[in-house]
A and B are shown apart, each in its own frame.
Chain A
Amino acid sequence: MRKFNLLVLNEWLKIFKKRSFFIPYLIAVLFQAMIAYISHSFSPDSFPSAAAFIKEMLLPTGLGQIIAILAIIGTAGIVSKEHSQGTVKFLLIRARSRTAILASKYVTVLLYALSLTVVTAASIVISGILLFQTGGGETGIADILQSLLYGYVYTVVYVTFVFMVGVLTNSTGVTIGISMFAVMMDKVVIYRDFYKYFLFPNLDLSIYRGGTPPLPGMTLGFSILMLAVYMAVFLLAGFLVFRRRDVA
Chain B
Amino acid sequence: MERITANQGQSEIKGGVPVLQMNKVTKMIKGKAIVNQLSFEIGRGEIVGLLGPNGAGKTTTIRMMTGLIKMTEGDVLVQGHSIRNDFKQAIAHIGAIIENPEFYSHMTGLDNLLQYVRMSDGISKSRITEVVELVGLQEAMNKKVKAYSLGMRQRLGIAQALLHSPKLLILDEPTNGLDPAGIREMRDYMRKIAEVEGISILISSHMLGEIEQICHRAVVIQNGTLVRVTRLGAEAQTEGEVALTVRVDNIAAAQAVIQAEDGVKLTGADELHSELNIRLYDHKVPELVAALGAAKVGVYRITEHKQSLEEDFLNWTGGNRIA
Contacts and interface: CB of A to CB of B under 8 A. Distances in A.
Interface of A: 3, 6-7, 9-10, 13-14, 17-19, 85-87, 89-97, 244, 246-248
Contacts of A13: 107, 111, 115
Interface string B90-134: 011010101111111111000100011011110000000000000
A94 B106 contact: no
A9 B69 contact: no
Nearest to A9: B118
Contact of A97 (B87, B104, B107, B121): B87
Interface string B223-266: 00000000000000000000000000000000000000000000
Given A6-B118, A13-B115, A86-B99, A95 B91 contact: yes
A93 B118 contact: no
Given A17-B106, A86-B99, A95 B66 contact: no
Nearest to A248: B69
A212 B26 CA distance: 61
A91 B107 CA distance: 15
Of A6, A87, A89, A247, most B-chain CB atoms within 10 Å: A89
Contacts of A87: 102-104
B100 to A, nearest CB: 7
Nearest to B100: A86
Given A86-B100, A244-B70, A95 B119 contact: yes
Contact of B119 (A6, A18, A247): A6
Contacts of A85: 102, 104-105
A244 B67 CA distance: 11
Interface in B146-186: 160, 164
B88 to A, nearest CB: 4
A89 B102 contact: yes
24 contacts: A3-B121, A7-B118, A9-B118, A14-B104, A17-B104, A17-B107, A17-B111, A19-B106, A85-B104, A86-B99, A86-B100, A87-B102, A87-B103, A89-B99, A90-B101, A90-B116, A90-B160, A91-B119, A94-B120, A95-B89, A95-B120, A97-B87, A248-B63, A248-B69
Interface in B37-90: 63, 66-70, 87-89
Interface residues of B, number: 32
Given A19-B106, A246-B69, 12 more contacts: A10-B118, A85-B102, A86-B99, A86-B102, A87-B103, A87-B104, A89-B98, A90-B116, A93-B66, A94-B116, A95-B89, A97-B87
A17 B111 CA distance: 9
A246 B70 CA distance: 6
B68 A246 contact: yes
Contact of B94 (A93, A97, A244, A248): A93
B69 A97 contact: no
A87 B103 CA distance: 6
Nearest to A5: B118
A93 B99 contact: no
Contacts of B121: 3, 95
Contacts of B111: 13, 17
A93 B107 contact: no
A89 B68 contact: yes
Contacts of B89: 95
A247 B164 CA distance: 23
Contacts of A17: 104, 106-107, 111
A6 B96 CA distance: 22
B88 A96 contact: yes
Contacts of A3: 121
B89 to A, nearest CB: 8
A93 B100 contact: no
A62 B88 CA distance: 47
A93 B67 contact: yes
B27 to A, nearest CB: 9
A17 B106 CA distance: 7
Contacts of B164: 95
A13 to B, nearest CB: 7
B102 A10 contact: no
A87 B115 CA distance: 11
A138 to B, nearest CB: 49
Q: Give me the 9 closest cross-chain CB pairs, A-B, nearest first.
A: A86-B102, A246-B69, A94-B119, A6-B118, A247-B68, A95-B92, A95-B88, A93-B66, A89-B98
Contacts of B99: 86, 89
A7 B116 CA distance: 10
A49 to B, nearest CB: 44
A123 to B, nearest CB: 27
B295 to A, nearest CB: 64
Contacts of A244: 70
A92 B115 contact: no
A96 B102 contact: no
A18 B106 CA distance: 6
Contacts of A19: 106
B69 A14 contact: no
